[in-house]
Structure 1
Amino acid sequence: MALSTMTHTHLPATRQPRLSQLNAAPAIQEVVHDHPQAKTASRATRWAESLSHLLHLHVEPPSSSHAGVHNFTWHLPRDHEQKLSTPAMSPKEDISQKWREIQGFSDWEDLLDPLHPWLRREIIKYGEFAQATYDAFDHDAFSEYCGSCRYNKNKLFAKMGLTRHRYKATKYIYAMSHIELPHWIERSHVADTWSRDSNWMGYVAVSDDEETRRIGRRDILVAWRGTVVPCEWFEDFQSKLDPIGQGEAKVEHGFLSIYTSKSDSTRYNKSSASEQVMREVIMLVNSYEEKGEEVSLTITGHSLGGALALLNAHEAGSTIPDLPITVISFGAPRVGNLAFKDELDNLGVKTLRIVTKQDLVPRMPGLVFNEALQIFDEITGTLEWIYTHVGTELKLDARSSPYLKKGMNFSGFHGLETYLHLVDGYLSSKVPFRLEARRDVALVNKACDMIVDELRIPHCWYQLANKGLVCNDHGRWVKPKREPDDVPSPTIEAHNHGNHDLAVEMQTYNVNITGPLRSA
């Protein structure tokens, strides 16, 4: 795919040494957090297996070109035991002088093959922020808070073990949809629930002063949640394209519905996810720019979350001129047509799309009608109804890791923890897995069964203690009540002032909020 050569106008004119030319020591990655109890995906697996036969997909054993992988596998348990007594992280590097290259202003030229250690660390950082949207999600159908975040925003990163990244969550995002999405919308079986129509969909955060100095700018982060049973999302969406923006751009109907739906009859979605996130981003950008700080926006998400990240980036790029915007997505599907891709390029949005070769989700939608048909443009002209991927691709291969089982495991291939494991191990196309990778491999099995049996890591091992039950003073095992500050609250989402505030803020940038994006 052709990549945009546009750069942001505020880049300095003087040319500095390329990041790829620096003699940077390899960064050892780290992560210490949990994943929700895995839900069964047998129906999705059968669906995916049938699809794989249709596509003639085959998961091959490692080829002989993967020199050293077989020998390493033979000694895997012993080497793994040695790693257990070593740190799972390394000191962070000061990237303040090279953050533009790391954020993709040169489309990650010369940074992906081999993968630069500074970029690897940043990819995993944002991936961990995306993982937190799963880790903290209450998916227990017997909980009155099913579909919400278990913790309030002031506790989120501490509970997820992410305080080392030095960001502060400032806003939670809730979403609904006007189309039926039974596997995306999590609903409680309890009569008295926190919400019947909204789910927690992600959050906005911002780097603190120390991290801001390290990374060279004040970074506003938006993390979007994917589907809880990730391989089932393609059963829930239609291959229908709806217009977005003012031109010929079109995007998938279901994704747009989640991003823009709202209803006055709801408590948490009187304003849409779009309006919630843009209100917060605009407020933060104004606040820090008024202080004379340089600001960036980084949007991340996995699966469905990666699709929502692109919609968010399109709106932010259309709304706030000259704001550096980068999307880091994992296992994301196609979202829109070629005109949508071109608009993102023209807006200066930089997208790094991490995919795994064996993952089916990035092939959807547009299984047949996709960017490959562009070779026939001279005959057919531009086809407005075909799906096209966006941005620069970093392609991983699950076969490269000596820690992962071989064979067909579509839920495992698509899991975000599998992606982070492969990113941490990826060195280059010639050296498929770096043996000095330190990220805890046990995390891969949090919600699947991907780790080789020699390591004796239980599959789907993550769950709340006693599956969330606590023993009360009478010796009865009961579901605990949440602390008052952990109960979801729509305090600033009230319709009587929320949308008015957003309209006032967006008028600062001469944007009409009644355009096609929100009328969809």
Structure 2
Amino acid sequence: MALSTLTNNHFVAAMNHVQPQQNMVLDHPKTNLPNKAKRLAESLSHVLHLHIDPTPRTIHKNLHFINLHHSTPTMSPRENISQKWRQIQGCDDWENMLEPLHPWLRREVVKYGEFAQATYDAFDYDSFSEYCGSCRYNQNKLFQKLGLTRHGYTVTRYLYAMSHVDLPRWLERSRVADTWSKDSNWIGFVAVSDDQETRRIGRRNIVVAWRGTVAPCEWYEDFQSKLEPLGHGGAKVEQGFLSIYKSKSDATRYNKSSASEQVMNEVTNLVKGFREKGEQVSLTITGHSLGGALALLNAYEVAATIVDLPVSVISFGAPRVGNIAFKDELQQMGVKLLRVTVKQDWVPKMPGILFNERFKVFDEITGLEWVYTHYGAQLELDVRSSPYLKGGINLSGFHSLETYLHLIDGHLSCETPFRLEAKRDVALVNKSCDMLVDELRIAQCWYQLANKGLVLNAHGRWVKPKRDPEDVPSHASELCSADLGIVLM
């Protein structure tokens, strides 16, 4: 049976059928490779109906079969989910869709995760670049450059954030004096589904994607653990997250308005425009790590501002954001949150590592406003489930969004082996970490600009090139969709 046609049921049946052979391979007297390598070879042999001997003598032959993945597509045809979109967006808190993981939900979660990953892949990390902290591409080219046009969305606005933190010089982001912005960072974008994708998913969907922590000022804010009041009720949220979301200054170029104001203006305009055309609209907010925290703050604000708009959050490796009152208000507003976590990742356990939602007695104590709590449904993954991933402790690898996306793509249920017919390219896991078993021969931290951004000029000298004019950050070009006439025409 071809790998690309193996269904979930076939896979489970195959795994049950080959269990005796699995034990036989494990008892092979010449087997002395790490367990992960053996499991990888065994699992692939079962799925492909081929015998792969996981011994040092034959491992080079096994790589041939492992590399069969290279000749298969990285995704299967997309299903029409228009009749089930509300359930996929969490109208009933994803009941009966997480265990086992519904394949339609898996595909949508991966899609939103790839939008969140785009905020890392397009970020300019080069401290010697005058544009460090910006997006390397303009919003019209972002999805094309990152290979995400297949999802059927159009970026309508970039988002910028700042922090009111005076940093020591050794923590400053850029080493260049004449930089595009000393205060702001590109923090994400707003996008909207095109007509074809809208028909497939059953409504016009607005997506907001928030980036996780990369800038020093964001690290500093992440280390804060103070709760700050939000609104006029008892809701409180982590001070550092709120600062990044709400900070602004007239002295800056990109944050005369806060990230909050930027995203709210854009989402409000989009919702108004599509509703005037008689369309059904939903909002999905996604983010990883810090981005997941910003996504929840964004959802709270939208739900409190725009009436009858379905608001869902898909977060990855996100920390706790607020207290019990914040959780209660989100629930009353109807915000739906699916928290994707990895069991070995420490970030979702912060802040409130000691006093949190696990202490149920706190729910009954009035006035206890300083206890952090998670909110929403949880999809927990386990690094140990994938035969492609190394064992041992790798904190950055456990928290990497690409590790998350790999595990989601292979997840069926807590009781079922890793889904070997998963389509997503496993090499992506090692983009910024070292998590893949060595037998796959994928270099660690391989994702970077060619020659680290240097090019050979006409005189034969290696230099840092000038950006194309259209990719240079320009406040004048960062207009909302209503200004540009995008989508709403």
> Which of these residues, 309, 317, 322, is aligned with residue 336 of structure 1?
322
Query: Which position in structure 1 is the counterpart of 2:375?
Result: 390
Correspondence for 2:405 among 411, 416, 420: 420
Q: Does the CA-based 8 Å contact 1:234-1:365 persist in structure 2?
A: no
Match of 1:444 in 2: 429
Question: How many Å separate the matches in 2 of 1:362 and 1:409?
Answer: 16
**Does 1 or 2 have the higher relative contact order (CA < 8 Å, sep 6+)?**
1
Q: Of residues 116, 123, 133 in structure 2, which corresponds to 1:130?
A: 116
2:324/2:363 contact within 8 Å kept? no
**What is the DSSP-based 3-state SS (H/G/I as helix, E as strand, rest coil) of the residue aligned with 1:84?**
helix
How many angstroms does 1:435 deviate by? 1.5
Q: Determine the C-alpha separation between the residues in 1 that align with 2:413 and 2:71.
A: 27
- Which residue of structure 1 aligns with residue 13 of structure 2? none
Partner of 2:331: 345
1:373 and 1:182 mapped to 2: Cα distance? 39
- The answer to whether 1:71 aligns with 2:42 is yes
Tell me the distance in 2 between the aligned counterparts of 1:182 and 1:225.
23
Which one of the candidate residues 77, 95, 108 is aligned to 1:109?
95
Structure 1: distance between partners of 2:187 and 2:305: 22
More helix per residue: 1 or 2? 2
Output the CA distance in 1 between the equivalents of 2:40 and 2:459: 55
CA shift in 2, pair 1:114/1:472, >3 Å: same
1:194 lines up with 2:165 in the alignment? no
Q: Deviations over 1:331-356 (max 9, x none)?
A: 00000001101111111110000000
Aligned-partner Cα distance in 2 for 1:62–1:361: 27
Cα distance in 2 between the residues matched to 1:135 and 1:239 = 29
Is 2:63 the counterpart of 1:96?
no
Q: Please report how far the alpha carbon of residue 245 of structure 1 lies from its aligned counterpart in structure 2 after TM superposition.
A: 1.9
Aligned mates of 2:186, 2:458 — CA distance in 1: 32
> CA RMSD, aligned part only?
2.6
Question: Mapping of 1:174-193 within 5 angstroms?
Answer: 174-179=160-165, 187-193=173-179
Summarize deviations over 1:454-500 as a string: whole Å, max 9, x none. Answer: 11110011110111011111111111111111111112779xxx9xx
Q: Which amino acid aligns with 1:146?
A: C
**What's the offset of the Cα at 1:234?**
7.8
Alpha-carbon spacing, 1:189–1:402, altered in 2? closer, same or farther (3 Å): same
Q: Distance in 2 between matches of 1:218 and 1:181?
A: 42
Pair 1:291 & 2:267 matched: no
Q: Which whole-Å CA distance do the structure 2 matches of 1:243 and 1:375 have between them? A: 23
Query: Could you tell me whether the CA contact under 8 Å between 1:181 and 1:236 is conserved in 2?
Result: no
Pick the structure with greater CA Rg: 2
How many matched pairs? 435
Where in structure 2 are the equivalents of 1:96-495 lying within 5 Å?
A: 96-179=82-165, 187-228=173-214, 233=219, 236-378=222-364, 380-381=365-366, 383-491=368-476
Cα gap change, 1:376/1:320 in structure 2, threshold over 3 Å: closer, same or farther? Answer: closer
| AA in 2 matched with 1:320 | I
Shift of 1:216: 0.3
State the percentage of identical aligned residues. Answer: 70
Give secondary structure in 1 for the equivalent of 2:322: coil
1:162 to partner: Cα distance: 0.1
Gapped regions of structure 1 (runs ≥ 5)? 1-24, 28-60, 503-520
Change (3 A) 1:106 1:466: same
TM-score normalized by the length of structure 2: 0.84
Deviation at 1:188, TM superposition (A): 1.6
Contact kept? 1:26, 1:117, Cα under 8 Å: no
Aligned 8 A contact 2:158 2:478 in 1 = no
Deviations 1:35-77 (A, max 9, x none): xxxxxxxxxxxxxxxxxxxxxxxxxx989xxx97783274873
Separation in structure 2 between the aligned mates of residue 224 and residue 442 of structure 1, nearest angstrom: 24
CA distance in 1, matches of 2:310, 2:368: 30
Q: Check conservation: 2:162, 2:185, Cα contact below 8 A.
A: yes
For structure 2, list consecutive stretches of 5 or more residues without a partner in the other structure.
1-6, 10-33, 45-53, 484-489
Closer/same/farther in 2, CA of residues 215 and 62 from structure 1, 3 Å limit = farther
Q: What is the DSSP-based 3-state SS (H/G/I as helix, E as strand, rest coil) of the residue aligned with 2:475?
A: coil
